[in-house]
Amino acid sequence: MDKKQMELLQGTLDMLILKAVSLGPLHGYGVLLRIQQISKDRLEIQQGSLYPALYRLEHQGWIASEWGESENKRKAKYYRLTAAGKRKLQTEAEKWNRMAELIEGILGTTAEEV
């Protein structure tokens, strides 16, 4: 394992999955690959925890699944973003950005500014 890999912040996996499938339908393994590809292999994702997250998101109606054929002609389950998921992703992203800004602001505070 690459020592530079970062562990995923709690609660962010859902958002990353939504983002990954927003770019086009993917099967579970594809979701994993895409997140790794986008993050340039700097995020470590527990493969086992990916599926419960996918099932949870589907159960909540943010993603939908259907069986299709994979690149190497095998049957695979493909996930795509639903309209509700799209909205969810948007609000989650906004929330994340606000939070990041806030944290950044706090961390960037110098003694004179207090």
Partner 1 sequence: MRLWSKVRSWVRALLRRSRMEREMDAELRFHIEVFAEDLVRNGVPREEALRRARIEFGGVERAKEECRDARGTSFIDSLLQDLSFGLRMMRKNPGFTAVAVLTLALGIGANTAIFSIIEAVLLRPLSYKDPGKLVLPAFVSADFFPTMGIWPELGRTFTSEEELHQAHVVVLSHGLWLRRFGGSPEAIGQNLQIDGIEWKIIGVMPATFHFPDKDQQFWAPLTTNRSWQEAALTTKIDPSNTRLFYARWLVVGRLKTGVSLQQAQAEIDSLFAHLAESDPDPNRAPVRAFPLGLNLSANMRLALFVLFGAVISVLLIACSNVANLVLARGAGRTHEMALRTALGAGRSRLTRQLFTESALLALVSGCLGLLLASFCLHALITFGPGDIPRLDEARVDARVLGFTLAVSLLATVVFGLIPAWRISQSDPQESLKGAFRSASGSVALRRMRNALVVLEFALAIVLLTGAGLLVRSFLALEEVDLGFQPERLLTLRVTMPAGVSQARTLVLHEEALERAAALPGVKAAGAISDLFELSNVQNLGLRAIEGREPEPPDKWTPLIWQTVSGDYLQAMGALLLRGRYFSQQDMANSPLVALIDENMARRYWPGEDPVGKRFKGQDPRGRNDDWVTVIGVVGNMRRNGLEREPVPHVFEWYKQSGSTPRDFVVRTAGDPRITAVTLRSLIRSLDPVAILSPVTTMNEQLSEQLSPRRFQTSLLGLFSLIALVLATVGIFALMHYTVAQRTQEIGIRMALGARRSDIMRFVIREGALLALAGVSIGTFAALALTRFISSLLFGVGASDPATFAGVAALLMVFALVGCCVPARRAMRVDPMVALRYE
Where along the sequence are the contacts to partner 1 (CB under 8 A)?
A: 27-29, 46-49, 51-53, 55-56, 58-61, 67, 70, 72, 74-77, 84
* 68, containing H or E segment: strand 63-69
CB of 40 to partner 1, least distance (A): 17
What backbone phi and psi angles, to 5 degrees, belong to 43? -105, 135
The minimum distance between CB 114 and partner 1, in angstroms, equals: 44
Asked if residue 35 lies in contact with residue 28, where contact means CB atoms within 8 angstroms, the answer is no
- What's the token pair of residue 82? 């639903």
In the complex, least distance from residue 45 CB atom to partner 1, rounded to whole angstroms: 11
